[in-house]
Amino acid sequence: MATQLRRNSTCSEAEWTARQELAACYRIFDMLGWSESIYNHISVRVPGEETFLINPFGLLWSEVTASNLIKIDSEGNKLCNSPHPVNLAGFTQHSLFHRHIDWAHAIVHTHTPDTMAVCSSAQGLTPTNFYACFFDGAVGYHDFEGITVRAEEGERLLENLGQNRVLMLRNHGPVVLGATLYEMFLNYYMLQRACEIQVKTAALGGAITVPPEVVAVHQRDRDLMLVKDFGRVDFEAWVRKLDSVDRSWRE
Ligand SMILES: [Zn+2]
């Protein structure tokens, strides 16, 4: 299947690399317990094109492979032969961000219980733990308007995202955008952890709020440690873990 896709020359080397990385990303999210049945999406822009790759609707994230990812245009039209449909409702917000934000190469939206819990709390994400402090002042919030399938909501989604890379959809779940798949992965990883810890801390009866000056130091020192390919070594480490269990995503 994989060689067929490449041999047909409908798939450039750049697209094939993007397909493999995205398939691995779906499998890693699933392995970490962050998938939601057949729902939710991770999407990436095909390098050099105004086309996108997304999961085939109806498959579990554990069933996604490089070949069965669906290539679509920004309107959601399928550009490849696939027996599977695309969940257009779910792609609405992804396509909006891909179209309007040049640097938004990779986008994920999840429904994990801990991120949904924080999105549903009045205070949102608070600077009360190591990971959460990274996001302080760098998260947008969007009030719940029902399922995000109406195009007219787009303007407010973009406005509420602002310059941030994380948008917390209140009463719903997070959207994390990245200039690379690696960056999106590591930012999502830290956001997921931040929310898990916030929920557990709340269960203990209260949290210590980190003072703004300490948050500033925390973020400054994080920035000093940033490597060029933010998240790449993390992602590659999880790919090795994935390969030790199942390599079928590569096909
Ligand atoms: Zn959702």
Give me the CATH number covering residue 81.
3.40.225.10
Question: What is the CA 167 to chain-centroid distance, rounded?
Answer: 11
Dist. CA 198 → ligand 1 center (Å): 21
Interval between CA 89 and ligand 1 midpoint (Å): 10
Position of tokens 């009045």? 122
Higher pLDDT among residues 206 and 104, named by residue: 104
Whole-number pLDDT of residue 59: 97
Residue 40 Cα to ligand 1 midpoint, Å, equals 6
Please give the residue range of the domain that contains residue 125.
2-250
Residue 1, pLDDT above cutoff 90: no
- The total domain count for the chain is 1
Q: What is the pLDDT of residue 82?
A: 87
Q: pTM score > 0.75 for this model?
A: yes
Q: Given this model, what pLDDT does residue 9 score?
A: 58
Per-residue buried b or exposed e for 89-115, using 16+ beta carbons within 10 Å of the residue's own CB: ebbbbbbbbbbebeebbbbbbbbbebb
What is the average per-residue pLDDT within 44-71? 95
Rounded to the nearest whole angstrom, what is the distance from the C-alpha of residue 108 to the centroid of ligand 1?
A: 10
CA distance 136 to 48: 33
3 state DSSP class of 10: coil
The mean predicted confidence, pLDDT, of the chain is: 92
Ligand 1 center to residue 118 CA distance, Å?
A: 14
Distance 79 CA to ligand 1 centre (A): 24
Mean pLDDT of 203-210: 94
Instruction: Evaluate if residue 4 carries a pLDDT over 60.
Output: no
Alpha-carbon distance of 224 to 199, in angstroms, equals 29
**pLDDT score of 3:** 46
**Number of C-alpha atoms within 13 angstroms, CB side, residue 173?**
21
Q: 13 C-alpha vs ligand 1 centroid, how far in Å?
A: 32
Q: How far is the CA of 57 from the centre of ligand 1 (A)?
A: 14
